[in-house]
Structure 1
Amino acid sequence: MTFTEIAETFAQAPSGTDGFKAFGRSALQLMKTDPENAALYFVVGIAAQAYVFKYEDQGVDPELADKAKDTLVEFNQRLLSALSKGPAERLSAANSVAIDYEWNVREF
């Protein structure tokens, strides 16, 4: 699968932890087949895993789940846009997503 396919599948999936788990696993697997873009896949794969670790064994308010999913979908869109650009732009996109995730995301 390509990152485009993985991102689209996640965007269409329900907002539960199963979707985050499948997305995270698939994104991290892409690191093996597309090592040139591993940083992009790693940052969103780890974010998805963090959501699963935090919420897998508990009920999640649907509003929070939807907001978390929307955040990851937005991150994916930024990375998808960067994939068609040069190495510096791809690295910048990965850095930007990592910074936003670490300092601005509170849901997961």
Structure 2
Amino acid sequence: MIQRFAAQVPGTDSFLKVKEGTLALISSDSEHAGAYFLIYGFARSYVILYEDQGIDPAFAETAKQQLLSYMNRLNDAFASGKADDMVAAQNWIVLDYGRSGKIF
């Protein structure tokens, strides 16, 4: 899902695909449901906030890069296989989002 999202043009359609994909992963991989739900929430918020608006391409790219950084952070934690890494990644994401412009 990360590679597909990275390759797509930034905008609500690409965020909608992440939302749908993470919702499916929540059901199929309950061990990581919390991490998927975090990404799902960000993608869902972006779609709700911007689906009926014309978005500046630079803004859309910024949002895409922010979500990609979160997805990659979680992917690295998945790869480690350590529960502590997963918790640390989720905490980092929540704190980073709180310090960010909260664009989604």
Question: Is the structural similarity TM-score above 0.5?
Answer: yes
Q: Which runs of 5+ in 1 are unaligned?
A: 1-5
- Secondary structure at 1:93's aligned position in 2? helix
Q: Output one character per residue of 1:19-68: Cα deviation in whole Å (capped at 9) or x when no partner.
A: 00011110121011111111111111110110011000010011100000
Rounded to whole Å, the distance in 1 between the matches of 2:73 and 2:28 is: 21
Residue of structure 2 equivalent to 1:25: 20
Residue number in structure 2 paired with 1:51: 46
- Unaligned 5+ segments in structure 2 are none
What's the RMSD between the two structures over aligned residues? 1.1
1:61-72 paired onto structure 2 within 5 Å: 61-72=56-67
What displacement does 1:13 show? Answer: 0.7
The 4+ residue runs of structure 1 with deviation greater than 6 A are none
CA contact (8 A) 1:39 1:91 kept: no
Equivalent-residue separation in structure 2 for 1:105 and 1:75 (angstroms): 15
TM-score in terms of structure 1 length: 0.89
For the 8 Å contact 1:17–1:51, the answer to whether it is kept is yes
Paired residues in the alignment total 103
2:6 maps to 1:11:
yes
CA distance in 2, matches of 1:29, 1:98: 22
- The alpha-carbon deviation at position 70 of structure 1 amounts to 0.6
Counterpart-to-counterpart distance in 2, 1:44 and 1:102: 14
Give the percent of matched residue pairs that are identical in Structure 1 and Structure 2.
Answer: 34
Give the match's secondary structure for 2:49: helix
